[in-house]
Amino acid sequence: FSNRFERSWGAITPFARVQATSEFGDETLGFTGAWSAAPATTFTVALPNLGHTWGTAALGISASVDDSLNVYARYQTDISREGQTVDQVSIAARVGF
């Protein structure tokens, strides 16, 4: 969801995003590997079971100033991931010459 608001100095666009994700792949909880120099020596790495269904929510804002400067900020988080927390903060600017 977003809406652009025109101002005398440019435009500002707040936005929100909600997304549902479902993983249909096999449940992989680990993998086994070996060194190429010692292929008979293997090792196994255990991975967490993160679940098959989760959601993502994001809030942010972008602004355009006189067609020469754009700025952007966003916060995003995953919801209901089992055993894992994912939070992201993004900030960007673009300057035209």
What is the predicted pLDDT for the residue at 49? 66
Helix or strand or coil: residue 39?
strand
Higher-confidence residue of 37 and 84: namely 37
| Tokens matching residue 76 | 């995003």
pTM (2 decimals)? 0.63
Q: What is the mean pLDDT of the chain?
A: 86
The string of pLDDT tens digits covering residues 12-39 is 999 999 999 887 766 667 788 898 888 8
Task: Give the closest residue to 59 by CA, choosing from 78, 79, 71, 75.
Answer: 75
Q: Are 26 and 36 in contact (CB under 8 A)?
A: no
Q: What is the domain partition of the chain in residue ranges?
A: 5-95
Dump strand ranges (E) for 9-52.
Answer: 10-22, 30-35, 38-46
